[in-house]
Amino acid sequence: MGMEIFAALIAGLMLLVVWRMFRGRHGVIERDVDRAFDVSEGQPEAPEALELFRASNWSGLTRLYWRIPPSDRYHLIEALSLLHPGLPQKPPEDADSSVLTIVGGLLLFHGARLQGTGPTLSVLKADAPRRMQELQESARLLREASGRNPNDSTNLSLQILMEHLTTVDHAQINSLIGRVQASGEDNLYAALNHMLVYAPRHTGQADGMWRVANEWASSPPNAAWLAIPARAHIEEWFFAMQLSRPNSPEQLNMIDLQSDDNFIRHIARLDDMFWATQQRGEMSGAEASFAHNHFAFLMHVFKVQDRAKPHLERIGPHITRYPWIFLPTGASRPTLMLRDLRRQYGLPPL
């Protein structure tokens, strides 16, 4: 019972973090503030997947799932959770591993998003038990799917996120990482979710995050994995500039870093490595979107304008929620932010 209470408290704290990321200025969730924003972030299979899901066409959904790369499968499930914001229908008794993973993933993303208004604690008290039930059912479905197909890296990546949102059991997380690495599939979101377990906004320090980020980027299957250390830099910036108190040592150090020539050369070298590695291996659609959005953000906030522009060109109309949600306009009006960025960097309007 004690461990269950502890897990519930951890989950509540994690849900609070998610709530704070999506709340408005006065603690109110901002719904439909940017109707022009493509919540699927350009994932081309999203409309077909939504149609198949609504029609309970499980065989068609299975065929779609397995025809796209592992990272895109993960991103597709995340897109579906926003295109179909209500609770998903229960999978059939004879559902295969892909259907169980999709429904489990939808429950996971649904359970991780707080909806409603009011003070933080009142929202948590009202919603936390129901959200915990959704996360528990999600965990059951993901485990069942993984038992039927132990080599689906998308499923394992979702389970890493589940552990991050609930128990933060590092032994279990390491076990899941080992299974991803043995699966024969490369999944960018396994690397991302692994790294975020140790992000300073969750732990208060960055050493563990950098250890994990550097491990994943040391021998990347393609250039997108170099966006993992880019995200680590962004996480440090976000913790210092948005979550730390004004004039704190973290904030003052980050302000100094923004004008540090050595640091600017460091992230420029990371960018050079990205473009060089891109010539040696093709990125999937979701991987390319993740990489270009993260490098564009990193170069923008550190004012390396000549390096932000080519990434913004590659983004086209598909700005992503993360990492742009770390900026006020990116959180509320991402398409307005994209329009302003393109104007700022001399790109033609879309």
Residues 160 and 222 both lie in one domain: no
Range of the domain at 225: 198-350
pTM beyond 0.85, yes or no: yes
Q: Are residues 101 and 211 in the same domain?
A: no
Six token digits for residue 164: 């991050």
Count of structural domains within the chain: 2
Residues 65, 142 within the same domain: yes
**Is residue 153, in this structure, part of any structural domain at all?**
yes
Q: Is residue 238 part of a domain?
A: yes
- Based on the domain organization, do 16 and 150 belong to the same domain? yes
Dist. CA 142–CA 254, nearest whole Å: 39
User: Between the CA of residue 37 and those of 23, 32, 41, 342, what are the distances in Å?
Assistant: 17, 9, 8, 16
pLDDT score at 126: 64
Spatial separation of the C-alpha atoms in residues 148 and 152, rounded to whole Å:
10
78 and 148 housed in the same domain: yes
Decide if 192 is inside a domain: no
Per-residue pLDDT of 122-158, as tens digits, reads 445 566 777 888 899 999 999 999 999 999 999 999 9
Closest CA to 164 of 184, 147, 133, 189: 189
Domain C-terminal end among 183, 217, 232: 183
Q: Rounded mean pLDDT of the chain?
A: 88
Regarding whether 19 and 159 lie in a shared domain, the answer is yes
Q: Which of 152, 183, 214 is the last residue of a domain?
A: 183
pLDDT band at 185 (very low <50, low <70, confident <90, very high): very high
Is 165 part of a structural domain of the chain?
yes
Whether residue 191 lies inside any domain: the answer is no
Class of residue 167 by CB neighbours under 10 A (exposed 0-12, middle 13-18, buried 19+): middle
Residue predicted with more confidence, 280 or 101: 101
pLDDT band at 112 (very low <50, low <70, confident <90, very high): confident
pLDDT of residue 48: 98
For residues 47 and 146, state if they share a domain. yes
Which structure tokens are listed for 296?
């564009």
pLDDT tier at 18, thresholds 50, 70, 90? very low
- Regarding whether 255 and 154 lie in a shared domain, the answer is no
**20 with 145, same domain?**
yes
pLDDT above 50: residue 9: no
Long-range pairs, 23-27, Cβ under 8 A, ≥24: 24/332, 27/117, 27/118, 27/119, 27/120
Q: In the prediction, which pLDDT does 111 show?
A: 86
Please compute Rg for the chain using Cα positions: 20
Average pLDDT rounded to a whole number, residues 294-298: 98
* pLDDT of residue 8 exceeding 90: no
pLDDT at 123: 44
267 versus 11: the higher-pLDDT residue is 267
- Same domain? For 237 and 159 the reply is no
Last residue of a domain, one of 113, 148, 183: 183
Among 332, 350, 318, residue whose Cα is nearest residue 38: 318
In this predicted model, which residue has the larger pLDDT, 17 or 142?
142
Residue 36 lies inside a defined structural domain of this protein: yes
Same domain, 41 and 175: yes
Give the model confidence (pLDDT) of 39-87 as tens digits: 999 999 999 999 999 999 999 999 999 999 999 999 999 999 999 988 8
Query: What pLDDT shows up at residue 290?
Result: 98
- In this structure, the answer to whether residues 264 and 205 fall within a common structural domain is yes
The 10s digit of each residue's pLDDT in 220-265 is 999 999 999 999 999 999 999 999 999 999 999 999 999 999 999 9
For residues 307 and 275, what is the distance between their CA atoms, to the nearest angstrom? 11
Q: How far apart are the two ends of the chain, measured CA to CA in Å?
A: 55
